[in-house]
Structure 1
Amino acid sequence: MQLEATTVDIGTTRPLVLLNTVDAAELGAHPIDRVRIQHAGETTTGIVKRTDELVPPGTVGVTEPLHHVRGTVDVTLAGAPHSVRYVRKKLDDIELEADELEAIVRDIHESRLSDVELSAYVSAVYANGLSLEETKHLTEAMTDVGEQLQWETPVVADKHSIGGVAGNCVTPIIVSIVAAAGLTMPKTSSRAVTSPAGTADVVEVFCDVEFTIAEIESIVEETNGCLVWGGGVDLSPVDDEIIRAENPLSIDPPGQLIASVLSKKRSAGSTHVVIDIPYGEGVKVESLVAARELADDVKRVGDHLEVDVTCAITHGTDPIGRGVGPVLEARDVLEVLEGDGPESLRLKSVRLAEMLLTHCGVDASATEILESGRALERFRRIVAAQGGEPDIESTDLEPGAESTTVRAERTGIATRIDNRQLCELARRAGAPLDSRAGLVIHRTVTDAVESGDRLYTIYAETPTKLAEAERLADRLEPVRVRSKADALVERR
């Protein structure tokens, strides 16, 4: 069928082809079918979207990835890519071979899978899991698609947390300590997947996080470290597409998580990595047994990739820090670097930094580097190198103007703080898209609480989002307070 190509902008980066329903019916094309477009001696493929209004009969609309298509084109039906069969195999809980996983990764990278098919892949992995061999092959395939950083130094330090703990933004502190100790630490981080703030969201409060590879190399040469968004460069770019599909479902299955983390680490040129695996009620990994199993798998995949990985299994029941949300977590980070701040955040940052220094064979004290002010000085250098204001103070970081405080309805003891519920509340308030939204936690587990004491404060940038968070707070109990007698029974 010959049609006139016209460009359309419907806010997508997917290679969509808009066909009027009349032309689609004649062609026999259904939604998310593929069509082959021949133009100027070239052939390209797009995913069908049927419409009654956006394009008239006789015209084919092409979205941004296909904007090079012009003039009169020949449109025919095309079959689905082979990787769709492999997605179906995974839905049937059949283990995939290396070449099948490579095909899925390649087609995700080249935007050949529709959003529905990508969601089906994510759902299949969530429901049926990945074997260790599948995880190894997937990690390799994700690493091989995209750029890879290379460094002259033989030791390149890195750290990653699998997440799930509210306020767990230790990375900027660790990078500042490790870089000040003389190690190279080019830290690429993710934006939020299921949390109210990823490390990149927090760092963006201070400075830019999107840079080219050449710019990253320059920043690291100047400061020994960087704090950048991995999605801003072409390092394991398929990971970002998969995260985009996981985000609405708030899922992060273990095998995919390992492939996500280690493909980024290998692409960043990291040689020595510490992986933080928090466990406990209300976080991603709920038991010590599961945490140990995950740590073993991470190490095995790391060995396969020739990346020296060690895991820190940490208790994740309680939040780390006081703030949850980009600006509030950024304030905690800067307070710790300034010599104050939440003790839980300072202690975990120092312990992980010490572990990473030892893992890299460096004889230095993380505590001394932090307390001497060397870490703060290095953090300010990194912020300046990334286009931020180096002299920013923690007191400059203000949360959203709309707020409400939830208070205790009884006297007793705080027996549990639910990370998952705190994250749900912060996201409902607008985090991470609204950087000043989130909440501040006023109590920790085992604290004595009087009736009327503050438990947590919710911040939002608009009254509407604050009201939405308040309605959710009425149904949840993120900070559980019990009488002393009930608390003793609960502990038993």
Structure 2
Amino acid sequence: MQLEATSIDIGTSRPLVLLNTIDAEELGAHPLDRVLLSWAGETMTGIVKRTDELVEPGTVGVTEPLHHVHGAVGVTLAGTPPSVRCVRKKLDDVELERAELERIVRDIHEHRLSDVELSAFVSAVYTNGLSLAETKHLTEAMGDIGQRLQWDRPVVADKHSIGGVAGNCVTPIMVAIVTAAGVTMPKTSSRAVTSPAGTADVMEVLSNVEFSIAEIERIVEETNGCLVWGGGVDLSPVDDEIIRAENPLSIDPDGLLMASVLSKKQSAGSSHVVIDIPYGEGAKVESLVAARGLADDFRRVGDYLEMDVSCAITHGTDPIGRGVGPVLEARDVLAVLEGDGPESLRLKSLRLAEMLLEHCDVDAAATEILESGRALEQFRSIVAAQGGDPDVESTDLEPGEESTTVRVDRAGVTSRVDNRTLSDLARRAGAPRDSGAGLVVHRTVGDEVEPGDRLYTIHAETESKLEEAVSFAEGLEPVRVRSKADALVERR
């Protein structure tokens, strides 16, 4: 069938093809079938959507991944990719071979799987899990696709947190300490997906974060490190597609989590990696036993990839810093580097930095580097190399002007600080899109409080978003206060 191609402005990463129902009936194409597009000696596969109105008969609508298709196009039915059979095997709890996982990864990258098929793969892994062998092969396959950073240095340090803890912005502090000690640490980080701020969002308050590979190499050559957005350099791009399928389901199965993290580290050229695994009520990993099992598997997959992976199992029941949201977390980071700031953020940053330096076999004291001001000086150098103001201070950073403070209405003890609810509340206030939005947590678990004491302050950039956050918080207890007796029972 010959049709005339027309571009359709629909935001999607999938190569969707819109066929008028009349043409689809003549072709025998059903929704989610695949068709082969042929034009000017080129071919491309698209996934069918049928419509009565968006495109006229005789026309084929192509979405953004196919916008280069133009003019007269031959449209024929195409078969189902072989990787779909592999997905069905995983749904049946059959262990997949290396070649089958490579086929799935390749087809995800080339957009041959529909959203339904990709979701089926993610759901199959969530339900049936991945064996250690499958995780190793999947990680390797994901790391082999996309760009790679390469360094002519024997030791390249890196760090990752599996997330789930509010205000956990230790990475900029760690990078400053580790690079000041002479270790190369080109840190590529993510933007927030479901949290109020990713490391890239926090750094964007202070400097640019989007750079090409050549620009990253220049920054690292100048400063020994960087803090940039990984999405700008196409490292392990299949990981981004898998995360896109996981988010609506709010799932992150261990096998895919490990493949996601370590394929990114492999692509970034990392040789020594510390993985932060917070556990506890409200964190991604709720028990110490589960955290230890995940740490063991991380190390095994790291050994397979010839990467030195060490894991820090940390408490994840409280926020780490006081601020939650890009500006507020950036303020905490600078305050710690300046010699002040939240003690919990300072201590965790030092612990992880010491751990990473030890595994890199570097004889340097993280505490001395921080307290001497060397870390602050190094951080300012990185900010300057990334186009930011090296003289910025924590007191220069102001959150959104619209704010309200929630106070204690009875005497007692703070018995719980709910990370998940705090993160949801900060997002309702506008974070991370509004960099000044978020909240400041004034209490930690175990604090004694009196009526009128502050629990948390919500910041927003607009009055409407502040009202939305306040409405969301009604009936919730992001910071729970109980009588001393009740709090003791809870802790037991």
TM-score per shorter chain, which class?
A: over 0.9
One-letter amino acid of the structure 2 residue matched with residue 94 of structure 1: V
Question: Could you tell which deviates more after superposition, 116-125 or 256-265?
Answer: 116-125
Question: Could you tell which deviates more after superposition, 255-264 or 85-94?
Answer: 85-94
TM-score by length of 2: 0.97
Determine the structure 2 residue equivalent to 1:317.
317
Q: Assess, with a 3 A threshold, how the Cα gap between structure 1 residues 327 and 246 changes in structure 2: closer, same or farther.
A: farther
Q: Assess, with a 3 A threshold, how the Cα gap between structure 1 residues 10 and 490 changes in structure 2: closer, same or farther.
A: closer
Question: Could you tell which deviates more after superposition, 77-86 or 255-264?
Answer: 77-86
Determine the structure 1 residue equivalent to 2:112.
112
User: How far apart are 1:476 and its partner, in Å?
Assistant: 1.8
User: How far apart are 1:485 and its partner, in Å?
Assistant: 1.6
Confirm or deny that 1:175 pairs with 2:175: yes
Once residues 71 and 277 of structure 2 are traced to their aligned partners in structure 1, the CA distance between those partners, rounded to angstroms, is 54
Question: Could you tell which deviates more after superposition, 88-97 or 231-240?
Answer: 88-97
One-letter amino acid of the structure 2 residue matched with residue 281 of structure 1: E
Determine the structure 2 residue equivalent to 1:86.
86
Once residues 215 and 288 of structure 1 are traced to their aligned partners in structure 2, the CA distance between those partners, rounded to angstroms, is 41
Q: Deviations over 1:41-74 (max 9, x none)?
A: 2221111122222221111111222222222111
Once residues 473 and 69 of structure 1 are traced to their aligned partners in structure 2, the CA distance between those partners, rounded to angstroms, is 49
Determine the structure 2 residue equivalent to 1:332.
332
One-letter amino acid of the structure 2 residue matched with residue 93 of structure 1: D
Q: In 2, are the aligned partners of 1:167 and 1:329 still within 8 Å (CA)?
A: yes
Once residues 473 and 410 of structure 1 are traced to their aligned partners in structure 2, the CA distance between those partners, rounded to angstroms, is 18
Once residues 462 and 30 of structure 1 are traced to their aligned partners in structure 2, the CA distance between those partners, rounded to angstroms, is 46
Once residues 433 and 84 of structure 1 are traced to their aligned partners in structure 2, the CA distance between those partners, rounded to angstroms, is 36
Number of matched pairs: 492
Does the residue aligned with 2:474 lie in a helix, a strand or coil? helix
Determine the structure 2 residue equivalent to 1:353.
353
Q: Deviations over 1:22-50 (max 9, x none)?
A: 21222222222111111122221111122
Once residues 127 and 192 of structure 2 are traced to their aligned partners in structure 1, the CA distance between those partners, rounded to angstroms, is 22
Structure 1 segment 234-245 matched on structure 2, within 5 A: 234-245=234-245
Q: Deviations over 1:346-390 (max 9, x none)?
A: 111011111111111111111111111111111111111112222
Question: Could you tell which deviates more after superposition, 57-66 or 336-345?
Answer: 57-66
One-letter amino acid of the structure 2 residue matched with residue 408 of structure 1: V
Determine the structure 1 residue equivalent to 2:18.
18
User: How far apart are 1:239 and its partner, in Å?
Assistant: 1.0
One-letter amino acid of the structure 1 residue matched with residue 47 of structure 2: I
Q: In 2, are the aligned partners of 1:144 and 1:236 still within 8 Å (CA)?
A: yes
In angstroms, what is the RMSD of aligned CA positions? 1.4
Determine the structure 2 residue equivalent to 1:49.
49
Unaligned runs of at least 5 residues, structure 1: none
Once residues 11 and 446 of structure 1 are traced to their aligned partners in structure 2, the CA distance between those partners, rounded to angstroms, is 47
Once residues 259 and 348 of structure 2 are traced to their aligned partners in structure 1, the CA distance between those partners, rounded to angstroms, is 25
Once residues 152 and 190 of structure 2 are traced to their aligned partners in structure 1, the CA distance between those partners, rounded to angstroms, is 25
Determine the structure 1 residue equivalent to 2:190.
190
Question: Could you tell which deviates more after superposition, 168-177 or 58-67?
Answer: 58-67
Determine the structure 2 residue equivalent to 1:344.
344
Determine the structure 2 residue equivalent to 1:385.
385
Q: Assess, with a 3 A threshold, how the Cα gap between structure 1 residues 124 and 472 changes in structure 2: closer, same or farther.
A: farther
Once residues 261 and 30 of structure 1 are traced to their aligned partners in structure 2, the CA distance between those partners, rounded to angstroms, is 37
Determine the structure 1 residue equivalent to 2:365.
365
One-letter amino acid of the structure 1 residue matched with residue 127 of structure 2: A
Does the residue aligned with 1:475 lie in a helix, a strand or coil? coil
Does the residue aligned with 1:183 lie in a helix, a strand or coil? coil
Once residues 326 and 80 of structure 2 are traced to their aligned partners in structure 1, the CA distance between those partners, rounded to angstroms, is 41
User: How far apart are 1:115 and its partner, in Å?
Assistant: 2.2
Determine the structure 1 residue equivalent to 2:461.
461
User: How far apart are 1:339 and its partner, in Å?
Assistant: 1.2
Does the residue aligned with 1:436 lie in a helix, a strand or coil? coil
Structure 1 segment 228-307 matched on structure 2, within 5 A: 228-307=228-307
Unaligned runs of at least 5 residues, structure 2: none
Determine the structure 2 residue equivalent to 1:97.
97
Determine the structure 1 residue equivalent to 2:166.
166
User: How far apart are 1:341 and its partner, in Å?
Assistant: 0.7
Once residues 95 and 466 of structure 1 are traced to their aligned partners in structure 2, the CA distance between those partners, rounded to angstroms, is 49
One-letter amino acid of the structure 2 residue matched with residue 53 of structure 1: E
Question: Could you tell which deviates more after superposition, 43-52 or 116-125?
Answer: 116-125
Determine the structure 1 residue equivalent to 2:374.
374
Does the residue aligned with 2:261 lie in a helix, a strand or coil? helix
One-letter amino acid of the structure 1 residue matched with residue 174 of structure 2: I
Once residues 88 and 193 of structure 1 are traced to their aligned partners in structure 2, the CA distance between those partners, rounded to angstroms, is 28
One-letter amino acid of the structure 2 residue matched with residue 78 of structure 1: A
One-letter amino acid of the structure 2 residue matched with residue 109 of structure 1: H
One-letter amino acid of the structure 2 residue matched with residue 388 of structure 1: G
Q: In 2, are the aligned partners of 1:193 and 1:246 still within 8 Å (CA)?
A: no
Confirm or deny that 1:141 pairs with 2:145: no
Once residues 24 and 366 of structure 1 are traced to their aligned partners in structure 2, the CA distance between those partners, rounded to angstroms, is 65
Q: In 2, are the aligned partners of 1:430 and 1:437 still within 8 Å (CA)?
A: yes
Q: Assess, with a 3 A threshold, how the Cα gap between structure 1 residues 452 and 127 changes in structure 2: closer, same or farther.
A: farther
User: How far apart are 1:475 and its partner, in Å?
Assistant: 2.9
User: How far apart are 1:466 and its partner, in Å?
Assistant: 2.3
Confirm or deny that 1:74 pairs with 2:70: no
Question: Could you tell which deviates more after superposition, 458-467 or 209-218?
Answer: 458-467
One-letter amino acid of the structure 1 residue matched with residue 292 of structure 2: R
User: How far apart are 1:189 and its partner, in Å?
Assistant: 1.1
Once residues 304 and 287 of structure 1 are traced to their aligned partners in structure 2, the CA distance between those partners, rounded to angstroms, is 26
Q: Among the aligned pairs, what percent are the same residue?
A: 82
User: How far apart are 1:174 and its partner, in Å?
Assistant: 0.3
User: How far apart are 1:313 and its partner, in Å?
Assistant: 0.8
One-letter amino acid of the structure 2 residue matched with residue 215 of structure 1: E
Q: Assess, with a 3 A threshold, how the Cα gap between structure 1 residues 217 and 466 changes in structure 2: closer, same or farther.
A: same
Q: In 2, are the aligned partners of 1:193 and 1:250 still within 8 Å (CA)?
A: no
